[in-house]
């Protein structure tokens, strides 16, 4: 039942940060451990977008692919990620983007997960924990690269 939560002020608007995190296909370009990401389906309704996505993560010789349902809610500046299948018992992930002013926002990131296998949890657990701690930094660096520092 590892979990990680952070609230981080960044020098980019809430809309910019939402758009950056919502662009899941780009994750392999900058996100730690993410080796591949493909979107199986994309449905739009009532101003929201529902994605079904496969993400492959790897560390040394270990590779795991898991499927999530990603609900993008631009009006609320919120992204909910629900686990579908893969190596976890469960995985819950929520992003919220709160405006501070026109050029700053607070990125709220929460993730809670547990591996199905204790062995896999022992092998990848501490590495996942470190990676999640680096996520906010990775997204902030990406925002600086995309939108300017």
Q: The CATH number of the domain where 48 resides is what? A: 3.30.530.20
Span 61-90, pLDDT tens digits: 888 899 999 999 999 999 999 999 999 999
Per-residue buried b or exposed e for 86-117, using 16+ beta carbons within 10 Å of the residue's own CB: bbbeebebbbbbeeeeeeebbbbbbbebebee
Looking at residue 121, its pLDDT comes to: 74
pTM: 0.90
Which domain range does residue 88 map to?
Answer: 3-147
What domain count does the chain have?
Answer: 1
Mean pLDDT to the nearest integer, 130-139:
80
């Amino acid at each position: 039942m590892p979990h990680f939560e952070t609230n981080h002020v960044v020098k980019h608007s809430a809309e910019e940060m939402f758009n950056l995190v919502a662009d899941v296909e780009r994750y392999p370009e900058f996100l730690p451990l993410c080796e591949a990401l493909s979107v199986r389906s994309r449905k739009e309704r009532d101003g929201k977008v529902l994605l079904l996505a496969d993400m492959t993560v790897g560390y040394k010789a270990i590779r795991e692919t898991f499927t999530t349902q990603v609900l993008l809610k631009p009006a609320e500046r919120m992204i909910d990620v629900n686990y579908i299948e893969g190596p976890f018992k469960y995985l819950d992930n929520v992003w919220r983007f709160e405006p501070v002013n026109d050029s700053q926002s607070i990125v709220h990131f929460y993730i809670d997960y547990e591996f199905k296998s204790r062995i896999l949890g022992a092998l990848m657990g501490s590495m996942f924990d470190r990676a999640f701690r680096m996520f906010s930094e990775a997204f902030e660096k990406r925002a600086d690269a995309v939108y300017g520092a």
